[in-house]
Amino acid sequence: MFALYLAQIVNSGLALGAVYGIMALGFSLIFSASRLINFAQGELLLLGGLIITSLSGVMNLPPLLALLAASLAGYLLGRALFATTLGLTLRAAPLRQLMLTVAASLVFQGVAILAWGKNPLMPPRLIPMPDLRLGPLFLGRDTATALVLAVVCMVVLGLFLNRTRLGRGLRATAQNAVGARLQGVDTVFCHALSFALAGALASLAALAVGPQTGLRYDMGLGLGLKGFAAATIGGYTSLGKVFAGGIVLGLAEAALVLTLSGEVKETAIYALIIILLVAAPRQHDERP
C-alpha cells in the first residue's frame, strides 16, 4: 500500500515539478539579467498555450512543428512584454518595474478572456510520449512528456548561455552591465532577449501542463507563483539548482494533494510555499 502511495506521489510530483522547473528557468533568466521578478510569467504560459491550442484546432501540428510554434509564440509574447514594461523603464525604480509586470499580467489575462472566454480548454497531446516504467515506479505519458521537455529545455538553455556568443553576452550583462557595454555588448537587447527566452520557456511549459490540467483564464497567477517559488528555492544561481527547486516543490505538492482533503489542500500548498520561501537561500548582489 505504501509503495503504491509513493509511486503516485512520484508520478504526480514529477509531472508538476517539471512544469514548475521550466517556469523557474524563465524567472531565473530574467532575474539574472535585470534583477527583476516577472510576475506576468504565468500569463505568458497561458497565452502561449491558448495560441497553440487554437493552431492545433485548424491544422495538424506534428511534434516538431508544435515545439517550434510554441517557442515562437512565447518568444514574441515575451518580447512584447519587455517592450511594454522594462523596455520603457530601464532606469526606473525596481518597485515600479515590478508593478508593471503585475499590471501586464492582468492585461494578458483580460486578453485571454476576450479572445478565448472563461471556459477551460483542453489542448491535445502535441508531444506524444509512451508510459515509462522504471523499476517499481510508473510514469504516465503526461509525466514522461513534462520531464523530457523540461530536461531538454534546461540542456538547450545551458548550451546557449555557455557555448554561443549571444549567450555569453547575456551572461556578461547579468554579471556586469556596465562592463559588458564597454565590451560592445548591446545590454538593452540582452534584457529583451531574457524576456523573450523566458516567454518561449513558458509557452513550452504549456505543452506539458495543458493536457494535464487544461488551460483556464485564471491559472497563470498560481503557476507563476509556484515557478517563482521554485526559482527562489533553487537560489537563482544555476539552471540545475533552479530546476531541482521545481522538482522539490512538485513532489511536496503531490504529497499534500494525496494526503489532504480538497477543502484544505490549496491552503496547505501555499503555506508550504511560504515556508520554503522563508527557508530558501538569501540572494545578494552577485550574479551567476
Other C-beta atoms closer than 10 Å to the C-beta of 21 total 35
CA 80 to chain CA centroid, nearest Å: 17
What is the chain's pLDDT, residue by residue, as a tens digit (288 residues)? 667 778 888 899 999 999 999 999 999 999 888 878 899 999 999 999 999 999 998 888 888 999 999 999 999 999 999 998 888 777 777 788 888 899 999 999 999 999 999 999 998 888 888 888 777 778 889 999 999 999 999 999 999 998 998 888 888 887 887 888 888 888 889 999 999 999 999 999 999 999 888 999 999 999 999 999 999 888 887 899 999 999 999 998 888 888 876 667 778 888 888 887 787 666 544 444
| Domain 2-126+137-279 is found in CATH 2.20.25 | no
Give which of 157, 203, 182, 211 is closest to 48, Cα–Cα. 203
Contact 38, 101 (CB under 8 A): yes
Tell me, what's the pLDDT at 286? 43
Q: What are φ and ψ of residue 278, in 5° steps?
A: -65, -40
pTM: 0.90
Long-range own/partner contacts, residues 254-262 (CB < 8 A, 24 or more apart): 254/8, 254/9, 254/10, 254/12, 254/13, 254/16, 255/9, 255/13, 257/12, 258/5, 258/8, 258/9, 258/12
